[in-house]
Structure 1
Amino acid sequence: MRLCFLVEEQYRHDGMPREVIAQLGAWGHTVDVIRPGRALLPLTSALTAGDHDAWVLKTVSGGPGLTLLEAAAHTGLTTVNDVRAIRGVRDKALAAVIARTHGLPVPVTYAAARAEEFARIPEAEFPLVVKPADGSSGRAVRLVRDPGELTAPGPDHEPLTGLLIAQPYVPNSGTDLKVYSVAGELYATERRSPLHPGHAVRERHVPLSAEVARITAETGAAFGLDLYGVDVLYGPDGPVVVDINDFPSFRQVPDAVARVSAAVLRLARRDPGALTPPPLPVPVAVPAQPAAR
């Protein structure tokens, strides 16, 4: 097969997708790499020639890669993930609405173009988690304890620009779960919550509870994703989905490179079996995490 990977500059040295690209090449497939931020792409010829069996996106939110992937899909080319699914999770405001309409456990979400507008939210809902709607990798995520902090500089000194979202903070133990789905196979990693920088947690693979497995599978079905990750917090009322990512790092997934590479090939071939998750193994129950402020 011949594949095209769209890789943003900040990911060019990452294992995902660099090692996947190498693995596909070792298996005898041809992989072309386009770096959207540093490429001149003749759109009218490159996207209509049909030289690739599938296009794969690994870029930052808000980068030019998604537009190129959408253009490829518009000409009938296969994309991994589906471009509509990627657009749905890259816009966190849109993702919150999609998740809510499908009954997924997500926090109440507000949107505004200026952080100070969130001062209208009832004070009983503070503290708030405020972040850019097109953010990624934890960029510019802030914990705002009261309305007076909405316009204060964040710890990273990065200004909040563009459309913003705010959600009531979910009290938790300082850890969260990153659940990865590789074409229906689920893996969970425990890690430190980005809002608890002083909390010492060793990132490690952990068993997956039946409830979180169900939520993760329902998230993939709601958005139409095949390769994705879901961030889950254990709040006072149970698991809460706080973020969804297309093509994440897949850290701690056993044999991640081989598994993701094989999934990319199945999806590129439009193998129906790759789009229907296999029956989930019986998950090992994980006790609920104690709530803490």
Structure 2
Amino acid sequence: MKVGLITPDAGHPLLAGTAAALAPAHEVVVLDPRDPDAEAVAARAPADVYLLKARDPRALELARALERRGAPVVNSAAATERCQDRRDMAELARRAGLPFAATAAFPSLDRMAERAGDGPGLPGLPWPVVVKSRRSRKGDLVARVDDAERLRELSAGWGEEPVVVQAFAPNNGWDHKLYAIGDRVFAGLRRSELAREDAEPARSGTGPPARWAELTLLVGEVFALDVYGVDFVDTGDGTPLIVDVNAFPGLRGRPGAPEALAAMALRRAG
């Protein structure tokens, strides 16, 4: 089989490990979406399947072009785009009955600040809140806002940024990161960037309840994703709240992830 990697960084640990798992029985080729000839190269020597480990507009257009030629792409361009607009992401998840944080959108952070004024918060949404860039991308805005003064501080640098806002869900200060490759789920725990300094320490062996893995796989069905990550917070007694969904995360340091991705690529190629 021939497996194509759509990425500007073929040395990424997950992709490098996947290529190693496929060798020497299978061929791995790299398509850099920054290369204007990438589509022509793929047309001359097509792969049996492509792994889309990039989310910028050029990568998505390349993926769409390959799909029009009949090539399977993991994740599809459409599924990848579904995870980039956080308002649309929230609407799709909540329509499907997933426990996703209620999310409101504003055309800019400045407009949100105008609505908030100096009162106790936004109408129907008291402080604290979590403000995020509407478009998910590297280096985007994700911040806890406890009052109007903090909101004005953010506006100084992000005033024109389209944003979404969610009520801050009380939690233990840790994010549960669940990742899926097909039907295999990997789990991780990370101190929340929104946590207070007095957040409780992580307990040894702390992991998500088993039913969260089932919920993670349901997210994949709803969003038509094959390789993805789901960010949860525990709002008490193991009650999950989904706060974000990411297409094709890095899964760095997850034993077995490269092998799982290699196996998935071969299944999709077949």
Q: Which residue of 2 aligns with 1:282?
A: none
Q: Which residue of 2 aligns with 1:15?
A: 13
In the TM superposition, residue 175 of structure 1 has moved relative to its aligned partner by 0.5
* TM-score, with structure 1 as normaliser: 0.78
Separation in structure 2 between the aligned mates of residue 41 and residue 149 of structure 1, nearest angstrom? 46
Task: Mark the CA change 1:58 to 1:204 in structure 2 (over 3 Å): closer, same or farther.
Answer: farther
Q: Which residue of 1 aligns with 2:219?
A: 219
* TM-score, with structure 2 as normaliser: 0.84
Q: Which residue of 1 aligns with 2:119?
A: none
Unaligned 5+ residue runs, structure 2?
Answer: 116-121
**Is 1:193 the counterpart of 2:195 in the alignment?**
no
Alignment of 1:139-288 (within 5 A): 139-153=140-154, 159=158, 161-196=160-195, 198=197, 207-236=207-236, 238-269=239-270
In the TM superposition, residue 133 of structure 1 has moved relative to its aligned partner by 2.2
In the TM superposition, residue 103 of structure 1 has moved relative to its aligned partner by 0.6
Separation in structure 1 between the aligned mates of residue 196 and residue 5 of structure 2, nearest angstrom? 33
Backbone CA RMSD of aligned residues: 2.8
Task: Mark the CA change 1:12 to 1:145 in structure 2 (over 3 Å): closer, same or farther.
Answer: farther
State the aligned residue count: 261
Q: Does the aligned pair in 2 maintain the 1:191–1:203 contact within 8 Å?
A: no
In the TM superposition, residue 245 of structure 1 has moved relative to its aligned partner by 1.2
Separation in structure 1 between the aligned mates of residue 204 and residue 11 of structure 2, nearest angstrom? 23
In the TM superposition, residue 88 of structure 1 has moved relative to its aligned partner by 0.9
Task: Mark the CA change 1:200 to 1:103 in structure 2 (over 3 Å): closer, same or farther.
Answer: same
Q: Does the aligned pair in 1 maintain the 2:189–2:207 contact within 8 Å?
A: no
Task: Mark the CA change 1:167 to 1:18 in structure 2 (over 3 Å): closer, same or farther.
Answer: same
Work out which structure has the larger RCO, using CA pairs closer than 8 Å and 6 or more positions apart in sequence.
Answer: 2
Q: Which residue of 1 aligns with 2:24?
A: 27
Q: Which residue of 1 aligns with 2:62?
A: 68
Q: Does the aligned pair in 2 maintain the 1:188–1:206 contact within 8 Å?
A: no
Separation in structure 2 between the aligned mates of residue 23 and residue 158 of structure 1, nearest angstrom? 44
In the TM superposition, residue 33 of structure 1 has moved relative to its aligned partner by 1.1
1:61-90 Cα distance to aligned partner (Å, 9 max, x none) = 444212211221122111011222111112
Paired residue secondary structure (2:225): coil
Task: Mark the CA change 1:124 to 1:258 in structure 2 (over 3 Å): closer, same or farther.
Answer: closer
In terms of mean alpha carbon deviation, does 102-111 or 14-23 score higher? Answer: 14-23
Q: Which amino acid aligns with 1:222?
A: V
Q: Which residue of 2 aligns with 1:2?
A: 2
Task: Mark the CA change 1:136 to 1:204 in structure 2 (over 3 Å): closer, same or farther.
Answer: farther
Separation in structure 2 between the aligned mates of residue 108 and residue 78 of structure 1, nearest angstrom? 34
Q: Which residue of 2 aligns with 1:56?
A: 51
Q: Which residue of 1 aligns with 2:118?
A: none
Separation in structure 1 between the aligned mates of residue 265 and residue 202 of structure 2, nearest angstrom? 30
Unaligned 5+ residue runs, structure 1?
Answer: 270-293
